[in-house]
């Protein structure tokens, strides 16, 4: 499993995923200018366990509430995609059907369609008044207990080298003081919707 994560082919696919929608960013252009060498360097670091993520950059955004968002370096996002390319199928089959964020064949539009289905069902074809509760887990990524998370992951992943990489990635998440202003949107917010009468 770890060999598949570190393969040049997987890293190339991961690069393309990480680059999507960001082709004009300076750090992406810089990485792509020496793509083969940069991917080989990343591969060597992963194979020989010398890989260390670069420090996160932290932004403050207001949309509408003020939130602190941490952003990984582009090369680290390639590693994240490389890891997910391999372990995602293991976890995807254990997710509930109505989990739509960041899943193949799901997404926002499918979630809206499913919402409409439940709204129609709960309101008995719109003959009863229904209400929607929208909630967000406060400071979700700041408060996840890494020991518990790693324990859950170990139940599905027995490969110690894969677990080493996951620990390295998780250990990089520290809410630092290097805050920059910016409009970076957090793609990982966890909203929850409930429909009831």
* Domain parsing of the chain, residue ranges: 2-196
Nearest Cα to Cα of residue 89 among 190, 8, 4: 4
Alpha carbon separation from 188 to 25, 52, 70, 134, 184 (Å, rounded): 20, 23, 11, 16, 12
Q: What was the pLDDT predicted at 174?
A: 53
Alpha carbon separation from 2 to 54, 113, 118 (Å, rounded): 21, 38, 41
54 DSSP 8-state letter: P
Q: What is the DSSP string of 126-190?
A: TTS--EEEEEE-TTHHHH--HHHHHHHHHHH---HHHHHHHHHHHHT----S-EEE-----TT--
> Alpha-carbon torsion 178, 179, 185, 189, what sign?
positive
Q: What was the pLDDT predicted at 190?
A: 43
With a cut of 90, say whether residue 64 has pLDDT above it.
no
- Mean of all residue pLDDT scores within the chain: 82
With a cut of 50, say whether residue 178 has pLDDT above it.
no
For residue 108, what are its two tokens? 């926002």
With a cut of 80, say whether residue 176 has pLDDT above it.
no
Listed in sequence order, the residues at least 6 apart from 58 whose beta carbon sits closer than 8 Å to its beta carbon are 68, 69, 70, 71, 175, 176, 177, 178, 179, 180
Measure the CA–CA gap between 56 and 70, rounded to whole angstroms. Answer: 6
With a cut of 60, say whether residue 17 has pLDDT above it.
yes
């Amino acid at each position: 499993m770890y060999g598949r994560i570190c393969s040049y082919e997987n890293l190339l696919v991961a690069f393309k995923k990480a680059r999507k929608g960001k082709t004009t960013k300076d750090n992406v252009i810089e990485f792509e200018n020496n793509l083969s060498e940069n991917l080989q360097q990343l591969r060597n670091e992963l194979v020989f366990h010398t890989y260390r993520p670069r420090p996160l950059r932290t932004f403050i955004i207001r949309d509408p509430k003020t939130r602190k968002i941490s952003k990984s370096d582009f090369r680290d996002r390639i590693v994240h995609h490389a890891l997910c390319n391999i372990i995602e199928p293991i976890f995807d089959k254990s997710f509930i059907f109505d989990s739509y964020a960041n899943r193949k064949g799901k997404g926002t539009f499918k979630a809206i369609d499913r919402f409409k289905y439940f709204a129609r069902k709960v309101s008995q074809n719109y003959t009863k008044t229904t209400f929607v509760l929208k909630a967000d887990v406060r400071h979700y990524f700041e408060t996840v207990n890494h020991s518990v998370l790693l324990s859950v992951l170990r139940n599905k992943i027995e490969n110690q080298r894969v677990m080493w990489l996951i620990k390295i990635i998780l250990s990089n998440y520290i809410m630092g003081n290097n805050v920059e202003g910016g409009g970076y949107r957090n793609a990982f917010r966890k909203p929850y919707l409930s429909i009831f009468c």
